[in-house]
Chain A
Amino acid sequence: MRISKAGLLVVLALLAPLLVELRTVLSWINVELSVLETAVVGAVLVAIVLVWAFLPENGEDEDTDETADRNVSNGD
């Protein structure tokens, strides 16, 4: 995985403001999306992020991304 699971969760969450604002921005160039079309664009974006996240990085081990994610504050 290219990113930790928690990192992936946050990236997916950040798609929410991107999607709702994208619809407004696209309307400026006369591309008006319906709610359904926006949902489809969202699903495509989620799929792209998931594919990217789960592709192994070149020459990198599966575990490496987790090491950087160990928490130091809550003593788990």
Chain B
Amino acid sequence: MMTMSNAYIDDFPAEAKVIRAAFYSSFFALALGGVFGVIQTLHRTGYYRFIDSADYYTVLTAHGVFLVISFTIFFLVGIFTWAVTTSLDRGVEDLRFTWGWYGLMAIGITLSGVAILAGFTDATDISASVLFTFYAPLQGHPMFYLGLVLFVVGTWLAGVDWFRSWWAWKGENPDERIPLPTFMVLTTMLMWYIATLGVAAAILLFLLPWSLGWIETVNPLLTRTLFWFFGHPVVYFWLMPAYMMWYVLLPKVSGGKLFSDPLARVVFVLFLILSVPTGIHHQYLDPGIAEGFKFIAMTNTMFLLLPSLLTAFTVVASMEHGARQRGGTGYFGWLKALPWRDPVFTGMALAGLMFAAAGFSGMVNAGMNINYLVHNTFWVVGHFHLTVGTAVALTFMAVTYWFLPQVTGKALWSRSVALGQVVLWFVGMTFMSNAMHRAGLLGVPRRTAEPQYDGFEFEAAVGSIGELQAQIALGGILLTLSLVLFFANVIGTGLNGRSDDLPANEYAGTLSGPEDAPLVLDNLKLWTAIAIVLVIFAYTFPLLSIVDRGGLFGPELNPFPVSIESVTLLAFAVEHLAVGALESLSLPGLLEVIR
């Protein structure tokens, strides 16, 4: 007898293939990024240095780019494709187009990746050890920038693919509300389109022509500002898919329903309009941007706490509902009824918990006055290892244990190993990020291969620097072990045979559904227009002022006059000015003496 499951692969076999490809690309990047992560952890802390310190920056670039660009974005295009096809209950409009954007992303990141890794060898003159932020005057090989452009264009086309699906669906269902997962994908992509204009301008107008030798100089403050125009919202491009998982999958695996669909829509609308006009808060210490502009960026950033707090409320309320459906009782007793045995649930719950801590350290970063205390220190590294490194990465790893069976049709290799993996990540990141934050408070810098200096010692208020280093190294090793367990599960699942006993491809229902949400929330044109207006308000004057002061392509280079004629001219001018000044003092006696 043949049994059929209702897994994603059964309904959308062709799309499942694309999602699988995106996931495997993502995991490959995670593996590479993880290896570079442990190398730099051991190098920086001084426990094991087998690379040259000059190569540390190549390692750091690879760690950053492979994890926060390739791992996260390949994974999110996979789950966005799942979200749109599942919630609209229709396949993509043109599968060749879907493979096209995946291919473009893959080619792009390969070019950038090769440019970075080539920095380890002197056999070619290719290198791009410019760190994830690729600030000028650090200059990468043109292949690095070109690869990034292709990768981003690939994501743009992916967005077009999802919008096409929605338009086609809307044509057939003109009076229906946008299903929540699709709504989340569309708002995220609209935000991404606006955000990436900054990095596209930085690369296409300045950095790429500069690396090709077409222009001599760039204005570093301008390219930096354009980078952060993209650089802050990109964190929401990682985070919003994680939020989506907390809204549409976590309530389901908790055994309940999403507390409020309208609140979820409000959150994503707020992210669309507030994510971009905040980037200048990464530049509080940049000279050349007036304090007033920085203050506006800080205010916008503080507003972003609202969607995160709404999410905390909605997600915990949904979890509590699920726990009570499972028989949980009491003020806190319901926590015991949650499915802690399920790595999908536990991973997401621990990721959410870590994100709360990240929110607090983020508020310190966002506040202009206290940011000065932690700017460019190890604190910031601790912060983003809690956000992208845990809230996002741990959520993605946890949901992999749900998605992998869905898109491969194979049962998960080991749920116990998966549970151990997510818990180990939590413990490892606790040790590592706690010590990074504390070291930052002591002034230990970031982006440094050897944070040790002659004649100077950092002083710890509690414990010692050596203990903090040990804590970071211990955390890094636990995280690496966690990754090994993750890949064992991915490979083990891939080697499993096809299973007919998989859970159905479903996402959480709602307690308060879309019918309770005001219609205006689905007006994507309105929210996009407001988002653009806010960006214009936040960026027009800072950008004009930066260009006015530093020039579009950097300050004009006027060499100091050194010829004999100009020195004579200069001497005459100085004498004339001096005599004039003395005369104006009306000191006849003094003038008499001089005469």
Contact = CB atoms under 8 A, between A and B. Distances in A.
Given A7-B336, A20-B431, A23-B463, A73 B423 contact: no
Given A20-B431, A68-B336, A10 B344 contact: no
A32 B405 CA distance: 49
Given A24-B438, A68-B326, A73 B467 contact: no
B407 to A, nearest CB: 14
Contacts of A35: 463, 467
A57 to B, nearest CB: 11
A16 interface: yes
Interface string A6-22: 11011001001100110
Interface in A12-44: 13, 16-17, 20-21, 23-24, 27, 32, 35
B461 A71 contact: no
Chain B binding surface SS class: helix
A7 B341 CA distance: 7
B339 A71 contact: yes
Chain B interface residue bracket vs A: 35 or more
B129 interface: no
A56 to B, nearest CB: 15
B471 A20 contact: yes
A74 interface: yes
A5 B336 CA distance: 11
Contacts of B328: 68
A76 interface: yes
B434 A73 contact: no
A36 to B, nearest CB: 11
A59 interface: no
Contacts of A73: 252-253, 339, 342, 344-345, 402, 503
B431 A75 contact: no
Contacts of B426: 13, 16
Interface of B: 252-253, 255, 326-328, 336-337, 339-342, 344-346, 350, 357, 401-402, 405, 412, 415, 419-420, 423, 426-427, 430-431, 434-435, 438, 461-463, 467, 471, 501-503
The 3 closest A-B pairs by CB, nearest first: A73-B253, A6-B341, A6-B340
Given A21-B434, A24-B438, A35-B467, 10 more contacts: A4-B340, A10-B346, A10-B423, A17-B430, A20-B471, A23-B463, A27-B462, A70-B341, A72-B255, A73-B253
24 contacts: A6-B340, A7-B340, A9-B340, A9-B419, A10-B340, A10-B346, A10-B350, A16-B426, A16-B430, A17-B430, A23-B463, A35-B467, A68-B337, A69-B341, A71-B342, A71-B345, A73-B253, A73-B339, A73-B344, A73-B402, A73-B503, A74-B342, A74-B415, A75-B503
